[in-house]
Chain A
Amino acid sequence: MGKLKSSQGKLILRICLTLIFTVGILPAAFAAKKVPAMDEALGIKLAKQAVRADKHWTTTDHSKMEILKQPFTSGDQITKACLSCHTDASMQFEKTIHWTWKVPSDKEGIMNGKAGHAINNFCISGNAMEDKGCLSCHAGWNGTEGEVNCLACHGAEKFNYKEAFEDLKAFEGDKDPDTLELAKEIQTNVSNAVNKITLPQRENCGECHFKGGGGDGVKHGDLDTSLAEPNKMLDVHMAAEGANFTCTRCHTTVKHNIAGRLYTRPAAAERKSLIQDDMATKITCESCHSNLPHKTDSKMNDHTDKVACQSCHIPEFARVNPTIMWWDWTKAGDLKDGKPYIVEGEFNKPTYKSIKGEFKWEKNVQPEYFWYNGSFANIGIKDKIDPAGIVQVSHPLGDKNDPDARIHPFKIHRGKQPYDKINKQMVAPLLSGPNGFWTTFDMNDAITRGNKTLGVPYSGEFDYVETTYAFPITHMVAPRENALNCTQCHIRENSRLASITGIYLPGRDRSNFIDSLGMIAVLGALIGVLLHGLGRFFTRNGKEE
């Protein structure tokens, strides 16, 4: 009878516990499903709040402006029409790096920028704007001469004004009715294009920035024409079905100064929230997503002081179009039947050009990771180099002890380029034009002429040195489900962060002392449980019966 009562009591207790558990847990589970917003990460909530008011509107319809209805015959006339209302626009723009291509450096007497003393390992230098080949990307109607071309950034229609104006001039005075009709048609097309004014769109910025280095995707790796209309898999911020950002959403602009230059303003110096300052001069991920972007209590939030968001959220770059990873100038200058030639390879991209040398293109490239505080160390044309090693023409600054530094992903573009053997300095060969390398295929002469444009002496002897150039990867942010998982870094073999040394990375690194302590603790616990079990087994054995 007593045994029966005891087993009934146990049953009742079990039922009660089950009921309590079920009643307690199930509603909580349903509640989580019904109200997902409650579960939304802080970083997402803040980002939505930061950009919710970004709805541009205008009170001006440029197609109704009388001054824009005149029969334009030159770009300068168009700009003068713009300036009749936007009186200070040119003045502002001509002070920016977009016009000057120069910016003061920390080093005395050195100017950074394409038109300054900076070099890269693509087309090497802009030769103080003497290399006319580069000027197709200068925002003027005629290179550096004349007025600013406002429509380069504010024209909604891609239109070849240069060709139109040349043809109009050529048809001038021709009385042939067909030609007159044609001229009228060209004039109408010019007017239609001039009337379509816009805030800078992706196509405007992309016309140069997607094609930096001489072609689509050549330079950056995370910037190419695939970003003109990306889907969400490629870029969650720029995709139409995502946040649908234009470039200027993040690259904020004050007086035509567009934020985003790397070596002029370290990102870490201003970690402002967009809610705090919508025109912050340097917008980072944190500006919208805060430094606690993941769900509360998520371990990932503990990473944000040492790991840049981009490191996990941009697993690969060049995910649609390929990018150049290797450029070898030593191979340039080979001719067939006395003429330059091109060899096409994988991705329908050139792997050899007589005028430029040999290239290697890659797609879906895994970034390399370095500590980065928002600044770069650059080797310019006046700096001394050690040609015995690899010259880092541009390399991120920062280390594990720098509170502003994060582990950040980079495209490292490698190549071989000429240097001055005697002076031990990099050189800036002139490439385009009748006296440039692309015409003469005489590298020595091209260096002599190119260095002269920058006022830098050349010994007359050159050789080639291997170089690297680092580009921070920050566009092409993938959807969260495609972000890196823990084991891509926290793993013994093939960790993505294998190059980040001098820190203890759990999973990747081991300490024999800690491992031994852990093993002792685990074994101790096992032995303890075993002894305890055995003790109870032997001391209680047979007592219940």
Chain B
Amino acid sequence: MFKKVFITGIIVLFTLGSICAAFASEGPAGNKRKGKYTYRKVVKACFDRGAVDSETPKVSPADKKQAEWTAIFEGKEFSVFGCDQEWAGISDDDALDIYSYFYNFAADSPTPATCK
């Protein structure tokens, strides 16, 4: 009897723990990989119309900390990137993906973006 109660307890604890961990995970819920490519497309479009001098993005996630990116994306203050015209045209889903990319590779993230 005690054994059954113990095992049930363990299972309940494990399940609760997993659910809590899943909900407790920080950061935006977008797709960071998609966000990286969407961001590059934004910069490329900007370059194609001659607004920037390189199609390689100048602003890197590692340029700021997670809290700073949160403030920028939640406030939709995209002027830091230049290319206002392109940023005005992107969907909320795309913006969320890009936010996820910047947040997950921010300077104080476990894996800050390198040159890649």
Name A residues whose Cβ lies closer than 8 Å to a Cβ of B. Answer: 160, 162-163, 167, 170-171, 178-179, 182, 185-186
Q: Report if B49 contacts A (CB, 8 A).
A: no
Q: Across the interface, which residues of B come within 8 angstroms of A170, CB to CB? A: 33
Q: Report if B37 contacts A (CB, 8 A).
A: yes
Q: Report if B34 contacts A (CB, 8 A).
A: yes
A210 to B37, alpha carbons, bound, how many Å? 29
Asked whether, in the complex, the Cβ of B34 is within 8 Å of the Cβ of A178, the reply is: yes
User: How distant is A193 from chain B, measured CB to nearest CB, in Å?
Assistant: 15
| Nearest-CB residue, chain A, relative to B94 | A178
Asked whether, in the complex, the Cβ of A160 is within 8 Å of the Cβ of B116, the reply is: yes
Asked whether, in the complex, the Cβ of A167 is within 8 Å of the Cβ of B33, the reply is: yes
Q: Across the interface, which residues of A come within 8 angstroms of B33, CB to CB? A: 167, 170-171
User: How distant is B41 from chain A, measured CB to nearest CB, in Å?
Assistant: 9
Q: Across the interface, which residues of A come within 8 angstroms of B36, CB to CB? A: 167
Asked whether, in the complex, the Cβ of A163 is within 8 Å of the Cβ of B116, the reply is: yes
Q: Which secondary structure dominates chain B's binding surface?
A: helix
6 contacts between A and B (CB under 8 A): A160-B116, A163-B116, A167-B37, A171-B33, A179-B31, A182-B34
Asked whether, in the complex, the Cβ of A182 is within 8 Å of the Cβ of B116, the reply is: no
Q: Across the interface, which residues of B come within 8 angstroms of A171, CB to CB? A: 33
| Nearest-CB residue, chain B, relative to A162 | B116
- What's the tally of chain B residues with a CB closer than 8 Å to chain A? 6
Name B residues whose Cβ lies closer than 8 Å to a Cβ of A. Answer: 31, 33-34, 36-37, 116
User: How distant is B68 from chain A, measured CB to nearest CB, in Å?
Assistant: 17
A186 to B40, alpha carbons, bound, how many Å? 12
A505 to B25, alpha carbons, bound, how many Å? 75
A27 to B100, alpha carbons, bound, how many Å? 80
Asked whether, in the complex, the Cβ of B34 is within 8 Å of the Cβ of A179, the reply is: yes
Q: Across the interface, which residues of B come within 8 angstroms of A178, CB to CB? A: 34
A163 to B37, alpha carbons, bound, how many Å? 11
Q: Across the interface, which residues of A come within 8 angstroms of B31, CB to CB? A: 179
Q: Across the interface, which residues of A come within 8 angstroms of B116, CB to CB? A: 160, 162-163
Given contacts A167-B33, A170-B33, 11 further A-B contacts (CB under 8 A): A160-B116, A162-B116, A163-B116, A167-B36, A167-B37, A178-B34, A179-B31, A182-B34, A182-B37, A185-B37, A186-B37
User: How distant is B50 from chain A, measured CB to nearest CB, in Å?
Assistant: 23
User: How distant is A50 from chain B, measured CB to nearest CB, in Å?
Assistant: 39
User: How distant is B40 from chain A, measured CB to nearest CB, in Å?
Assistant: 10
Q: Across the interface, which residues of B come within 8 angstroms of A162, CB to CB? A: 116
| Nearest-CB residue, chain B, relative to A185 | B37
User: How distant is A163 from chain B, measured CB to nearest CB, in Å?
Assistant: 5
User: How distant is B22 from chain A, measured CB to nearest CB, in Å?
Assistant: 19
User: How distant is A174 from chain B, measured CB to nearest CB, in Å?
Assistant: 9
User: How distant is A167 from chain B, measured CB to nearest CB, in Å?
Assistant: 5
Q: Across the interface, which residues of B come within 8 angstroms of A185, CB to CB? A: 37
| Nearest-CB residue, chain B, relative to A163 | B116
A185 to B31, alpha carbons, bound, how many Å? 17
A167 to B33, alpha carbons, bound, how many Å? 7
Q: Across the interface, which residues of B come within 8 angstroms of A167, CB to CB? A: 33, 36-37
User: How distant is B91 from chain A, measured CB to nearest CB, in Å?
Assistant: 10
A186 to B36, alpha carbons, bound, how many Å? 12
Q: Across the interface, which residues of A come within 8 angstroms of B34, CB to CB? A: 178-179, 182
Q: Which 10 A-B pairs have the closest CB atoms?
A: A163-B116, A167-B33, A160-B116, A170-B33, A182-B37, A182-B34, A179-B34, A178-B34, A171-B33, A185-B37
| Nearest-CB residue, chain B, relative to A160 | B116
User: How distant is A133 from chain B, measured CB to nearest CB, in Å?
Assistant: 12
A182 to B33, alpha carbons, bound, how many Å? 10
Q: Across the interface, which residues of A come within 8 angstroms of B37, CB to CB? A: 167, 182, 185-186
A185 to B37, alpha carbons, bound, how many Å? 10
Q: Across the interface, which residues of B come within 8 angstroms of A179, CB to CB? A: 31, 34
| Nearest-CB residue, chain B, relative to A171 | B33
User: How distant is B58 from chain A, measured CB to nearest CB, in Å?
Assistant: 15
Q: Across the interface, which residues of B come within 8 angstroms of A163, CB to CB? A: 116
A453 to B91, alpha carbons, bound, how many Å? 52
User: How distant is A168 from chain B, measured CB to nearest CB, in Å?
Assistant: 10
A162 to B114, alpha carbons, bound, how many Å? 13
A170 to B34, alpha carbons, bound, how many Å? 10
A62 to B88, alpha carbons, bound, how many Å? 42
User: How distant is B116 from chain A, measured CB to nearest CB, in Å?
Assistant: 5
User: How distant is A190 from chain B, measured CB to nearest CB, in Å?
Assistant: 14
| Nearest-CB residue, chain A, relative to B108 | A339
